[in-house]
Amino acid sequence: MIPDALWLSTLQAYPFLTADSASHTERLRAMVGEFLADKEFNGAHGLQISDAMAVAIAAQACLPVLHLGLHWYDDFKGIVVHPGAMLARREVIDDAGVVHRYKEALTGEAMPHGPVTLSWADVAASGESAQAGYNVVIHEFVHKLDMRNGPADGCPPLPSRVVWENWRVTLQASYVRFQDKVTMAERFGAEPPWLDAYAASAPAEFFAVTSEAYFVNRDRFAQEFPELMPLFAQFFNASTAP
């Protein structure tokens, strides 16, 4: 059982954890205990993972599976926490066959059947960044849900073909509208969208970014993406999902 003082301080630091009912919060507390017993935390670059840090990460990671169940996270054990953004080595081959190598700054990364990597600086700021709909923990753990049925593509495992088709059509239409908003802002000086333009880079990123907003700023999310509200509510609250 998580000590009362530690749990209370976590809820105070991340108010979005208490957005729903008291029973929801108690259910979350119990799941966090199970999550901590199952996962292994490692600090990078000498970072020491305190109980408060582990509980903060676990509480945010459990939000997307609170009704789905922790078995959705059973394909990995490790969570690696960096003090801040990390540099990942990338390699791409262009159309001419030339290999380009570069380093990319990341605040988090989820590996298929592998660990989740997070920037503690971004995790620690999650209480303040909720206003902007940003949450690196939820983002990376939603990628984990998305990867349950193959490479992340914005469509997690769903209970039926009908549900899958509705998800695909609705999410794709919303994604295209968001891309249009980003294009209008970047090319023509229109008002930028509320969420990070990174969501326009791929359907998988759109699903992860909008899921962040769904959990940390539900009211604003409902205003910006009313078409996604019933879709996400059905999925994230469906305890019978596969």
How far apart are the C-alpha atoms of 77 and 21, rounded to whole Å?
30
Helix (H) or strand (E) holding 167: helix 161-188
State the pairing for strand pair 116-119/78-82.
Answer: parallel
Instruction: Please state the domain extents for the chain.
Output: 4-236
For the stretch 125-166, pLDDT in tens is 999 999 999 999 999 999 999 999 999 999 999 999 999 999
For the stretch 36-65, pLDDT in tens is 999 999 999 999 999 999 999 999 999 999
For the stretch 186-229, pLDDT in tens is 999 999 999 999 999 999 999 999 999 999 999 999 999 999 99
pTM beyond 0.85: the answer is yes
The total number of residues written for the chain in this structure: 242
| Residue entry with tokens 């029973």 | 23
Q: Which CATH number fits domain 4-236: 3.30.70.1450, 3.40.390.10, 3.40.228.10, 3.40.50.300?
A: 3.40.390.10
| Residue entry with tokens 């600086």 | 121
How far apart are the C-alpha atoms of 113 and 233, rounded to whole Å?
26
The per-residue pLDDT for 90 is 52
Q: Which residues contact 224 (CB under 8 A, 6 or more apart)?
A: 193, 194, 195, 213
Q: What would the DSSP string read from start to end of 22-57?
A: HHHHHHHHHHHHHHHHH-EEEESTT----HHHHHHH
For the stretch 75-110, pLDDT in tens is 999 999 999 887 666 555 656 665 555 555 688 999
